[in-house]
Structure 1
Amino acid sequence: MPELPEVETSRRGIAPYLVDQTLLYVVVRNPRLRWPVSEEISSLRDQPVFSVQRRAKYLLLELAAGWIIIHLGMSGRLHILPKDRIAEKHDHIDLVMSNGKILRYTDPRRFGAWLWAKDFTASTVLAHLGPEPLGAEFTEQYLFEKSRHKRTLIKPWLMDNKIVVGIGNIYASECLFVAGILPTEPAGSLTQNECKLLVSAIKKVLLDAIEQGGTTLRDFLQSDGRPGYFAPRLQVYGRAGAPCYRCTHLIETVKQGQRSTFFCRHCQS
């Protein structure tokens, strides 16, 4: 599933082709995604596009009439294409723009979502989200206070969008490695200094990943079809049994909440 850097990369890729253009009309070929495509989206006509924003792993298209809220799900991708590009089997939605381009949504598994809101701040899918990890409000003091008395293990706790948004399985492992914190301890054991290290690691890893265009492991491609280039920089994720780049001890893996967690016991202690 695309994580925050991949969604931010998609946002940056599509924004220049949408902002200050007019959405002429929408083509919905298959409305059966994770939830049915909102009917309001299908009927949009001649809508100026004011901005393309991101909240957590959701993309937000600001139109004159309201907001299109997009979640890419497990395999969703957005492409900027010429208006006359023939649609293929898994091409479910087109936004036809005044500049001769289309924003095409492709999703083989159909786990994504296209929703409508007059005001995105009132949307139920966004209402209970925590702070953005790259925002000023995500601080060591915030993380320390949230962690008090929590028995949930650190890594799944960090992936809770009510605590902080956008940190999925890949980047949770990577951030904890950079911070030197074991993922197998309870969140309540975090010290103030560890929270400081963790906040710094999260911001660094996510910014680095965004600059590299995200991480392509299976489904993710940028809006122009290119893969993300952060994968070669992964320190622990997917490297079980391989030597740690830092200390040469073998990378270990455990299952946490049905997800694989990767870590170096020597460097994270």
Structure 2
Amino acid sequence: MPELPEVETTKRGVEPYLLNNRITKCWHSGLSLRVPFDSSKFYLIKNDLITGIERIAKYIVLNFESKNRLVIHLGMTGNLRVSKFLKKVKHDHIVMNLENGNYLIYNDPRRFGLVSILANEEQFAMLDNNADDPFSAKMTPKLLLSKIENKNTTIKAILLNNKIISGIGNIYACEVLFRSGISPFTLGKDIDLEQCKKILKNAKKILNSAIKSGGTTLKDYFNAEAKPGYFKIKLKVYDREGEECAACKSLIARSIQNNRSTFHCLNCQN
């Protein structure tokens, strides 16, 4: 599943081709995505100037001069690409013609993503309900502590809760907790301020490293230029069950938490 680094990499990849450009036409496969694409709203952004592109949590948002927005979520297997030639491939669901002659193409084999057009000031709960991510100046150790100090849920589950902190998916939650020396089974109420500092510091460090590497390729992710990300080779614990810990040579363990795989070092994260 594309996580924050993959989404940020995609956003940076398409941005030069979209900024200060206009979308002139739109084609839809007719197949439903996680949220059905409403092509009848295309008039809201047709021939409108794209004035900005931002990432909010794991969403890519195109802002237009009219203040209308195009919101994209890659879901489990979605990807965006910009092409000079219109050559549709399997699982292409939305194609947008750009004024500069390029095409913005949304491809999604499992169709768990979404592409939604929003009018000025239109609310969209799936986007609006996300908390700040680790890069936000608002997400301080004190704020994180205040959000979790009474939680009886595990810190691993907390890091996956976008209403508490957004942008940290399963892969990076495992890596952040390993780097911070915190057991994934520690309850939120048992986490102190110093540990919150470590979590945010390491989250930013690891996510930045992943962004620079182009994201984490596991099965389905490809960045905007159709090149795979290479951060997987730098993972310390994720998907390394039974291998030696790089820090202490103990074996990496795999556990199941909330139906998700958790990889951790029993020694370093004791």
TM-score range, shorter chain: over 0.9
Check conservation: 2:42, 2:117, Cα contact below 8 A.
no
Q: Which residue of 2 aligns with 1:16?
A: 16
Cα contact 1:4–1:56 (8 A) shared by 2:
yes
Deviation at 1:151, TM superposition (A): 0.6
Counterpart mapping for 1:1-269 below 5 A: 1-43=1-43, 44-65=45-66, 66-82=68-84, 84-119=85-120, 122-269=123-270
Tell me the SS of whatever aligns to 2:25. Answer: strand
Contact 1:253 1:261 in 2 (8 A): yes
Q: Per the alignment, in what secondary structure is the counterpart of residue 99 of structure 1?
A: coil
Quote how far apart the aligned CAs of 1:220 are: 0.5
Q: Distance in 2 between matches of 1:74 and 1:97?
A: 26
Backbone CA RMSD of aligned residues: 1.3
Alpha-carbon shift at residue 42 of structure 1 (Å): 3.9
Q: Which moved more, 1:240-249 or 1:44-53?
A: 44-53
Whichever residue aligns with residue 157 of structure 2, its letter is P
CA drift of 1:63 comes to: 1.9
Aligned residues: 268
SS at match of 1:220: coil
Write the letter of the residue equivalent to 2:70: I
In the TM superposition, residue 88 of structure 1 has moved relative to its aligned partner by 2.0
Q: Which secondary structure state, in structure 1, belongs to the residue aligned with residue 205 of structure 2?
A: helix
Q: Give deviations 1:113-155, integer Å, cap 9, x for gaps.
A: 0112124673221222111211111111111111112110110
- What is the CA–CA distance in structure 2 between the aligned matches of 1:49 and 1:23, rounded to whole Å? 8
- CA 1:19 to 1:189, structure 2 compared with 1: closer, same or farther past 3 Å? same
Q: Greater shift after overlay, 241-250 or 36-45?
A: 36-45
Q: Is 1:133–1:165's contact at 8 Å kept on the other side of the alignment?
A: yes
Instruction: Decide whether aligned partners of structure 1 residues 119 and 248 sit closer, same or farther in structure 2, where only a CA change above 3 A counts.
Output: farther
Q: Is the 8 A contact 1:67 1:120 kept in 2?
A: no
Kept after mapping to 2: 8 A contact 1:9/1:222: yes
Amino acid at match of 1:99: N
Q: Which moved more, 1:13-22 or 1:113-122?
A: 113-122
1:156-204 Cα offsets, whole Å, 9 max, x none, are 1111001111111000000001111000111111011111111111111
The CA distance in 2 between the partners of 1:189 and 1:213, in whole Å, is 35
2:232 counterpart letter in structure 1: A
Q: Give ranges in structure 1 of 5+ residues lacking alignment.
A: none
The share of aligned pairs that are identical, in percent, is 39
Normalised to the residue count of structure 2, the TM-score between the two structures is 0.95
Q: Higher mean Cα deviation, 120-129 or 255-264?
A: 120-129
CA distance in 1 between partners of 2:9 and 2:99 (Å)? 23
Q: What's the TM-score once normalised by structure 1's chain length?
A: 0.96
